[in-house]
Structure 1
Amino acid sequence: MGKQLIYSVYFIMPILLLWGAKPQGKGQWNDSLSLSQTKAFQGFLTVAIMLHHIGQKTCASWLFPKSRIIPGLEFFVPIGYILVSFFLFFNGYGAYKSFHTKKNYLNGFVKKRILPVVLSLYSTTLIFFIARLLIGEKMDMPGALLYLSSIKLCNPNTWYVIVLPFFYLAFYLAFRFIKKDGLAVAATTAFVVAYILVGTSIDHNDYLIRGEWWWNCVHMFPVGILFAKYEDKIIPHLKKYYWVYAILAVAALYPLYLYSVHAQDFFSYYGENFGAPDKVLRRRMTLLSQVFVTMDFVFASLLLGMKVKIGNRFLKFMGTITLEFYLIHGLFVELCDHTFDGGVKSPFPIKNVFLYVLVVFALGVPSAILLKKLHGLILGIGKKEKQPVELKKAS
């Protein structure tokens, strides 16, 4: 009976999302692009990402020996990149909207946008490094330096905060030095595309850009910028043909996902494993299928948000610690797994998956709060800082 409790997450998650939700009546619209709505949805997605990471440790098909597999979270195992695509979309969307609505937005951009992400990377890297030493992982000086520099990921979930600062930097340089808005957008997009082309040409490895999860949803960053640029034309059009787009977007999501699974099986990201001469082409063809599903997921989410306003205390709270929870919950995922990031034996393995989830969440939330406070102290973000305001429409 205890093993079956994990399936309750499929009832709990919709309740967490929809508790307190308010459907909009005919002719009424919710701003699904508002800061409060996007933060609430990101808070929900952060919990889903936690389930994704725990699913990878408990029921992923690649686990060995097979006796380790405990069913329950299979749904979450393959969809991590889809969940993260929403964050990248709004990273790009938010940067562009803020540039056009906040006076002198680029002044202090590195401190406000890039430094907090870099700090999050290295603070959690240090925490994971200490944890690795405490549980008995052996490493020489070169190995320690690789970990501490994040050339080899000490915290296995930090690819996002390694890549994002470079995207922000490309945005900053483009909009600082290119006066024409369209050219600045094109330059930022070109940088992300170049990164993807480089990423798809690199074989799987133990260091930077080590696999497809480093680049299979990053296209959503420039997509967010483009959406923000043309939002004033896009939103009225969507409202005019709302039900057509909403039905098509939702109906297409599962078929597009199945197509992406088929593409991964047919083309494969792992052509180097079987000596495929066209391994780079195979990766790019597989990536294309995932471009479709990530774009449709974000599109469907925005459309549904136009008619349903989500929000409750839980989502509002989780929306304030998304980055910190994303980065720190993995520590407890590893400590309660079979092995710590594939290395030494984990000190507190939990076989009951539902209990595993509860422990990771219960320890992850206060840790994220403390981490956020620590970052605030280091960056000089005090209590007098004003609360973020809703982003206005770009002119």
Structure 2
Amino acid sequence: MKQLIYSVYVILPIILLWGAKFSGFKNFNEEFLSLKQTKAVQGFLAICIMLHHIAQKTCASWIQPQSRIVHGLDIFVNAGFLLVSVFLFFNGYGVYKSFHSKENYLNGFIKKRILPVVLALYTTTLIFFVARLLIGEKMDGKQIALYLTSIDLCNPNTWYVIVLPFFYLAFYLSFKFIKKDGLAVFATTAFVIAYIVLGTNIDHNDYWLRGEWWYNCVILFPVGIIFAKFENKIVPHLQKFYWVYFAVAFIGYYPVYRWSQGVCGRFGYYGEEWLPHNIVVMNRLISVSSQAVVTTLFVLCVLLLSMKLKVGNKFINFMGTITLEFYLIHGLFVELFGWQFDGGVRSPHHIKYVIVYVLVVFALGVPSAILLKHIHEIILGKRKVSAKASLKISA
């Protein structure tokens, strides 16, 4: 039964490639950056992020006691920043393309782009807060306030949806008040770089910017914007020398990844307890620079594959419609069925076999994400409560 977890390495390619169409050696998938394709890719990656979070509960090297470690998802333990880098690239690419293709795009930008993310953050925060109370976590008034504001993450997987609204806001302010496109791109990029530098100056803690995962892949947001700005030059160039770039990117990826791991092992993000602050910051800047290289290369590999392979089937297309909600809510079930809930309270039920753990998290995460999406759409005015539902409520 334990070995069944390795079946995910067969199932995942099937999920991705089912219904996929290869464009041929000389032709290209002209829709590789279309909304439909990018949503399908993100739907697939959302499943991979779920596996990443489960891997951190089952086979991460830091699990104590180590007798709890069950191998199988090891490849996903350190993959989170790579997977999220793709989302950030598409976030940046999407807002820039929309700004230039949709009239008056910035009108209502905060309501359309920022508010849904903030709403999703706090609805799931409330759900996690209730779950923490029900499993018996002890909290004083200060901790309750910290949890409910998400200053201390009640839902441990929310750094991305805390950071993203600030990047969106930087984009909005830059493109609203700076008329020259290049300067607006520069201003947004400068904001993200300043955020990264700020992150390297903050030691590990229990609050915002609590560790390197808050900033080690965010450079892909402005990279997505820059790619979109120069797309008409970049894409033809990639197509002209496609097989050269393909070979270099895919052959070079693993050595570059191992090089980055070596850099992080040599310099790293820790050391605040035994090194001078300026040395710690320098080490973090070196480490994050190496990870900027590997995340950019990872996204390039995804783009090169997409240029030849048109992906999409009913399953990953559907997952692409609930990506945000699934990203935020599946972690509740990761916590409930692991050894212990985030924060140290024992989980109410530990699932022994990892493959069963995966299936239960997914089976509960998907309908929860669908329900959350419906609730969010009702709150945002995108969906009306049906007449039958209204009658039941009033009754």
Instruction: Give TM class, smaller chain.
Output: over 0.9
Q: Give 2:271's aligned amino acid.
A: G
Map 1:270-309 onto structure 2 (within 5 A).
270-275=270-275, 278-309=279-310
Residue 131 of structure 1 aligns with which residue?
A: 131
Letter in 2 for 1:106: L
Cα separation, 2, equivalents of 1:42 and 1:242: 23
1:70 counterpart SS class: coil
Number of the residue aligned with 2:12: 13
Question: Where does 1:8-157 land on structure 2 (aligned, <5 Å)?
Answer: 8-30=7-29, 31-157=31-157
Matched, 1:180 2:180: yes
Aligned residue number for residue 376 of structure 1? 377
Q: Which residue of 2 aligns with 1:391?
A: none
Per the alignment, residue 392 of structure 1 pairs with none
Cα distance between partner residues in 2 of 1:25 and 1:319: 26
Q: CA deviation at 1:260?
A: 1.4
User: Does residue 1:210 correspond to 2:213, yes or no?
Assistant: no
Partner in structure 2 of residue 388 of structure 1: none
- Structure 1: distance between partners of 2:32 and 2:215: 26
Name the residue aligned to 2:364. Answer: 363
SS at the partner of 1:339?
coil
The residue aligned with 2:240 is: 240
Query: Residues of 1 paired with 2:62 and 2:260: CA distance?
Result: 18
Distance 1:95 1:363 in 2: 32
- SS across alignment from 1:271: coil
* 2:314 matches 1:313: yes
Q: Distance in 2 between matches of 1:28 and 1:106?
A: 36
Between the aligned partners of 1:272 and 1:70, the Cα distance in structure 2 is: 31
For 2:340 and 2:187, the matched residues in 1 are separated by: 43
TM-score, L = length of structure 2: 0.95
Matched with 2:389 is none
Distance (whole Å) between structure 1 residues aligned to residue 213 and residue 100 of structure 2: 31
Report the count of equivalent residues. Answer: 383
Distance across 1 between alignment mates of 2:9 and 2:257: 19
Which letter maps to 2:362?
F
Asked if the contact 2:374/2:383 (under 8 Å) is kept, the reply is no
Distance in 1, matches of 2:273 and 2:305, equals 41
**Residue 276 of structure 1: CA displacement?**
5.1
**1:325 aligns to what SS in structure 2?**
helix
How far 1:27 moved relative to its partner? 3.2
Distance (whole Å) between structure 2 residues aligned to residue 271 and residue 280 of structure 1: 9
Residues 189-217 of structure 1, C-alpha deviations (whole Å, 9 max, x = no match): 01000000000111100011000000000
CA distance in 2, matches of 1:287, 1:312: 36
Write the letter of the residue equivalent to 1:173: L
2:340 matched to 1:333?
no
Identity of aligned residues (%): 68
- 1:352 matched residue in structure 2: 353
Q: Matched residue of 1:324: which SS?
A: helix
SS at match of 1:218: coil
Name the SS for the 1:380 alignment partner.
coil
Query: 1:311 offset after TM fit, Å?
Result: 1.0
Q: State the alpha-carbon separation in 1 of the partners of residues 35 and 337 from structure 2.
A: 34
CA spacing shift, 1:100–1:365, aligned 2, 3 Å = same
Deviations 1:44-86, CA, capped at 9 Å, x for gaps:
1000000000000000000111111111110000110000000
Tell me if the contact between 2:203 and 2:272 (Cα under 8 Å) persists in the aligned partners. yes
Query: Which 4+ runs in 1 deviate beyond 4 A?
Result: none
Calculate the TM-score normalised by the size of structure 1: 0.95
**RMSD of equivalent CA atoms:** 1.1
Residue 29 of structure 1 deviates from its aligned partner by 1.3
Deviation at 1:265, TM superposition (A): 1.0
CA distance in 2, matches of 1:229, 1:288: 23
Aligned-partner Cα distance in 2 for 1:98–1:194: 25
Secondary structure of the structure 1 residue equivalent to 2:78: helix
Query: In structure 2, how many angstroms separate the alpha carbons of the residues matched to 1:337 and 1:166?
Result: 32
Distance 1:25 1:345 in 2: 53
Q: Structure 2: any 5+ residue segments left out of the alignment?
A: 385-395
AA aligned to 2:348 is P
Q: Which residue is 2:390 aligned to?
A: none
